[in-house]
Chains A and B, each alone.
Chain A
Amino acid sequence: MQALHIAGRTFQSRLFLGTGKFGSAAAMEAAVTASGTELATVALKRIDPETGTDNLLAHLQQPGLHLLPNTSGARNAKEAVFAAQLAREALETNWLKLEIHPDPKYLMPDALETLKATEELARLGFVVLPYIHADPVLCKQLESAGTAAVMPLGSPIGTNKGLKTIDFLEIIIEQSKVPVVVDAGIGAPSDAAQAMELGADAVLVNTAIAASDNPALMATAFKLATAAGRMAYEARLAGTNRQAIASSPLTAFLQ
C-alpha cells in the first residue's frame, strides 16, 4: 500500500481520527491506538491551556501520532485565522483543520469564508486542510489559494449516512492535485472502504467510532476497511457489467 504524503509529511495510515464525543478519555486513547492513525484532530475549544479538569492532550501523547487542531466554533474567516494562530501556539504545529460553520445546527461549512481564510492562512505559513462541501469548483479554488489538502463531506457531519455526495466526490478526486480526505458522514467501515476504493487519499472518522459500543474494536474495523479500500483502489477494481450482452448485437451488420 502506498504511503500518503501531505505537505512533506508521510503517513502510512490513511485513517484520520476525530477525538470528540468519546465516553471517556481512556476510550478515546484506546481507539486512537487501535486505529493505527497518525493524525488526530483536536478542537481548539476543548483545549485547556491551564490543564484544568479536561486533560484531553495528555491522552494523545502517542508515538507517531500528530495532532491536527481544528477551528470548530469559528463563524467566519477572521475568527478562524485568529483561532488558528492560538492553536499553532497551543499545540506547536502549523497544521490546521479549517472549519468555518456559521450554522451551528447542521455545521455546514461556509465556502466563501473558508476560501478567504485558506488564502490568509497559507500566506501565514499554515498547512491548511479545509472542511468543505463536496464542491469541485471550490476544491480547485482552494488549490490555487494554497491548500494542502481538501476535506469534502460525505454527508452532513455526525449523521453516519455514508457517501451521499458520491457523484461530486468522484469529480473532486478526478480533478484534484492535492490529497482528498473524505470527512463527515462516514458511518460504517464499508463507507470508508467505498471512499478509498473511489480513490480518496484518506478518510476522517469520529462519530461512528466514538458513539459505538466498543470504540477500540470499531477503530480496528475502520483501520482494516480503510486499508482494504485503498488496496482495492491500487489493485484497480475490475469493471462491472451493467447490462447483459444483447443476442442481436447492434454491430452484427458489420460481419
Chain B
Amino acid sequence: MFTEIFEQYNWETVTESILAKTAADVERALARQKRNLEDFKALISPAALPYLEQMAQLSRLATQKRFGRTIQMYAPMYLSNECQNICTYCAFSLDNKIKRKTLGNAEILLEADAVKAMGYDHILLVTGEANQTVGVPYLANALRLVRSRFSNISIEVQPLDQDEYETLIAEGLYSVLVYQETYRNDTYKQHHPKGKKSNFRYRLETPDRLGKAGIHKIGLGTLIGLEDWRTDCFFTALHLSYLEKTYWQTRYSISFPRLRPIAIDQAGTTIHKDFDRYMNDKELVQLICAYRLFNEELELSLSTREEATFRDHIVPLGITSMSAGSKTNPGGYVVAPETLEQFEISDERSPAIIADMIRQQGYEPVWKDWDKTFR
C-alpha cells in the first residue's frame, strides 16, 4: 500500500526541499533524458519559472512524440448531487441547503443521448457520496444503461472497496478518477470534517484498491487551492511513481483542478469563496510542463474549469485530453438544467467549437480511442 511510502515523508521537509531548488538544479533537470522526483521538484519550484518557455518547448516535443498531434475528447455527466459529506469547497456539500437530484433510468438515458449527440464516445459519470441512493447497485445500473452508447466509460464517485470496483469493471467500467484533494492530513481533515470522506487513509489507498481490482486507468490529482500546490503535486508524482511500479498494467492520468469560487444559492444570494492558495496561470503551465517532463507517457487532462483563452493556448503544451460543453449538475444537459452546478464552468463553448479550435492549431480531436471489446 502507498501508505507505507507516504508515511516516510514529512510535509514541511518536502516543501522546504522544493523551495530550496536552485536555477542550477532546474538546468540539470532540463538537460536530463530521464527525470526523477528530485528533478520534478526542481521543475515545479519557483526557481524554474524563468525557464518556462524552455519547459514548454520540451513538453510540446515530448507530448507529440508519445501522443502525436491529438487531443482526446470526453464529457462529464452528473448523475446525482446527493452527498453525505461535508466538503468546505463543494457546492454539493451536505450542509448546503440545495435541492437534491438523482437521475432515474429514463433521465440517465436522455442525458446520455444528449452527450452522445454532441459527438462524444468517452463519458465520465459523476456523483456525490450517498451510498443509500447512489451506491454500487445504482452505479452498476447506470453503467448498464449507458454502455451500449459509449466506447469508454469513466466514473468520478466516492471511493469504493476492491470487490465493488471489480463489480463495476465487470459492467464495463474503464477508468476511475479519484483525487486525493490534498495529501496534507491536517488540511484534509479541516476541509472534510464529516462523512465517510473524512477518512484520509481510506481515500489515500483507493488507487491501490483500484490497481488490485485490475482497472484499465486511474485518474489522480489534487484540488489545487487547498494547500501549497507544489508540495501536493510532489506527493501526486510520488503516488504516481509508486502506482506505475506496482500496478504496471494500469495507465494513469492526472488532472489539476484549480478551485474556483462556488455559487451557493441560499435565499437567492450567490456566495463566492476565495481560496488563499490560488494558483496563477503561469504556475499552472509550469505544473503541466513539469508533469510531462517527469513522465512522458502520462495522460494529462484539462477541464472546462479553465477559461477559454487559457484552454486555447494550452493545447500544444502537454495536455492530452479535454472536455467541452460540460454541465456539472445532474440533468444539466436536458433533464433538469436548473439544478445547482458543482462548480461554475469557465469555458462554455460547445464541443464543436472546441473541436474547431483544436483543429485550427493543427491537432486532431479524437472522439473514439477505445473499444468495448477490450474489457
- A-side residues, CB < 8 A to B, are 20-25, 43-48, 52-54, 73-75, 79, 82-83, 86, 102-106, 158-160, 207, 210-211
Contact = CB atoms under 8 A, between A and B. Distances in A.
Chain B: interface size category = 20 to 34
Interface residues of B, dominant DSSP: loop
Interface residues of A, dominant DSSP: loop
B250 interface: yes
B375 interface: yes
B368 A158 contact: no
B68 A20 contact: yes
A211 B62 CA distance: 10
B369 interface: yes
A24 B65 contact: no
Contacts of A20: 68, 70
Given A22-B68, A52-B368, A105-B244, A74 B374 contact: yes
A210 B363 CA distance: 11
Contact of B248 (A47, A73, A105, A207): A105
Interface string B54-73: 00000000001111111000
B104 interface: no
Interface of B: 64-70, 119, 121, 151, 216-217, 244, 248-251, 297, 355, 359, 362-371, 373-375
Instruction: Give the interface centre of B297, B369, B374 by most chain A CB atoms within 10 Å.
Output: B374
A197 B368 CA distance: 38
Given A20-B68, A48-B121, A104-B250, A73 B363 contact: no
Contacts of B363: 23-24
Nearest to A160: B65
Given A22-B364, A75-B249, A105-B248, A211 B69 contact: yes
Given A105-B248, A106-B297, A23 B69 contact: yes
Given A45-B151, A53-B119, A79-B375, 11 more contacts: A21-B68, A23-B69, A23-B363, A23-B364, A73-B373, A102-B248, A102-B249, A104-B249, A104-B250, A210-B68, A211-B64
B362 A24 contact: yes
B367 A48 contact: yes
A46 B248 CA distance: 24
Contacts of B67: 21
Contacts of B362: 23-24
Contacts of B367: 48, 52-54
List of 9 A-B pairs having minimum Cβ-Cβ separation, nearest first: A21-B68, A23-B69, A104-B251, A53-B119, A53-B367, A73-B374, A45-B371, A23-B362, A211-B64
B364 A25 contact: yes
Given A102-B249, A105-B251, A44 B371 contact: yes
